Amino acid sequence: MNQNKIILYPSNWLYNSGVVGFLRVLEYKKFKIEELISLGKSVILDRCAIKESYCRIFEYHENILKEKFAIWGKNKRYPNYIQTGQKDFFKNHYIPALQKVEKNKDKKCSWCEGYFIPQNELVELKKAFNGDFSNFMEQREKFQGIHFAGLGAAITEIPNSFWNLNNSTPICHLCSYFVIFNHLAFIKTSEGEIFINAPDFKLIWDLNKFAEEVLQKSKEYEIRKIFGSSLLQWAIKRRALLGAWTMMNIEVVVKKWHKEEKRWIIDYFDLPEERTKILLDNKIANLIERIDEERIFDLILTGKFSELEKANYFVLKTILKLKNSEKISENDPIRKYFKKLDLIYLQKISNILPQLYIKILEKIRR
Ligand SMILES: [Zn+2]
């Protein structure tokens, strides 16, 4: 294995969102991300990416988010992650040392394989540090709520299958660095900020990109629809098969700011397994896309599959009416299913709907 690379495997959502935020910063300004990163099920990272990401995280906030970002002293996102006086030390000494992380047989990380700054580097770091160095380093080896603006509290309260956390979970130096990127992976929606998590980094990257594209169409889409559309787009564009275990572990992490209590509330959303399976099927996804009608998509998202048969019945009736130049009344049942009521479109639909229904039934039976 190339000594210069670090391999990151998917872990819990906080870690994954940290890595995705980190990738976003690297991707910013069309930076040659592929030279530093290889993005697959796992992420293979060139060590220089660490320093690059630290320079760019501030630029990214200023230019893209129009926000002044800080990790020192009192700040909005990561209060006291470091102290104001440690700013230069962190940039000029700590970050370069962080590029040299390696596995340590005596220390463990609860999130990843464990990447720690080597002992000889720590000796050098200590020389450059002003104050209680061991206390400073201790903070980089524990996940503590206080460092992450209310997020810690929200996390400890909610059980999650990936999550195994107590008040101070041991983490490694690299993980404690990735944490400060996690907010960048979240996408704003009308129901809170979301991050689509999965046990595969390329899949996470794609699904969240597709979710952002869906939101370009309407900011008001509910999470169910954003998530469903994102799965659908993945099936259409990637044409790959996912293992059952991977499919079962795709979920949306929803982060809402509780104004009165001044802390984040974390919630999870997922679709029943059979619906995820349906949306991730390339053939089914293409049929849904060709129908291009939100109301039909909603039926599938809410699992009302048998309504597709009903819808088709009304499509056929409407085709007859249109052929006979009959007017379609305002309360005609077809309007429950379709907005567009022209003959050519409905004829096309009358071909697709039965196919779609059969494909869905096949998928569920399996
Ligand atoms: Zn770690």
How many A from CA of 191 to the centre of ligand 1? 31
pLDDT at 117: 97
Q: How far is the CA of 155 from the centre of ligand 1 (A)?
A: 17
Beta carbons within 10 angstroms of residue 190's beta carbon:
12
Ligand 1 center to 98 CA (angstroms): 12
Residues 139-181 have pLDDT tens digits of 899 887 655 655 655 555 444 434 445 556 789 999 999 999 9
Rg (alpha carbons) of the chain, rounded to whole number: 25
CB 87 within 8 A of CB 72: yes
Give Cα separations from 37 to 46, 52, 207 (angstroms).
Answer: 6, 12, 18
Task: Find the 163 Cα to ligand 1 centroid distance in Å.
Answer: 14
CA of 69 from ligand 1 middle (Å) equals 24
Query: 325 C-alpha to center of ligand 1: Å?
Result: 68
Buried b (16+ CB within 10 A) or exposed e, 272-310: eeebbbbbbbeebbbbbeebebbebbbbbbeeebebbee
195 CA → ligand 1 middle, Å = 20
**Domain segments of the chain: what residues?**
5-184, 186-278, 290-364
Spacing, Cα 292 to ligand 1 middle (Å): 44
Are 157 and 122 in contact by the 8 Å Cβ rule? The answer is no
276: pLDDT confidence band, cut at 50, 70 and 90? very high
pLDDT at 143: 81
Q: What's the CA gap between 9 and 94, in Å, rounded?
A: 24
Instruction: Give the integer Cα–Cα distance in Å for 191 and 334.
Output: 30
Q: Which helix (H) or strand (E) holds 250?
A: none
3-state DSSP assignment of residue 12: coil
Question: In which band, very low, low, confident or very high, does the pLDDT at 366 lie, cut at 50, 70 and 90?
Answer: low
User: CB of 234 within 8 A of CB of 241?
Assistant: no
Task: Work out the pLDDT band at 28, boundaries 50, 70, 90.
Answer: confident
| pLDDT single digits (tens) 318-347 | 999 999 999 999 999 999 999 999 999 999
- Average pLDDT of the residues of the chain: 90
Cα(4) to centroid(ligand 1), Å: 17
Report CA 138 to chain centroid distance, whole Å. 29
Dist. CA 165 → ligand 1 center (Å): 14
268 has a pLDDT exceeding 80? yes
CA of 232 to the centre of ligand 1 (A): 33
Q: Which two tokens stand for residue 162?
A: 């990936």
| Ligand 1 centroid – CA 123 distance (Å) | 21
Chain length of the chain: 366
Question: What does the pLDDT look like over 77-125, one tens digit per residue?
Answer: 888 889 999 999 999 999 999 999 999 999 999 899 999 999 999 999 9
Question: Cα of 221 to ligand 1 centre, how many Å?
Answer: 35
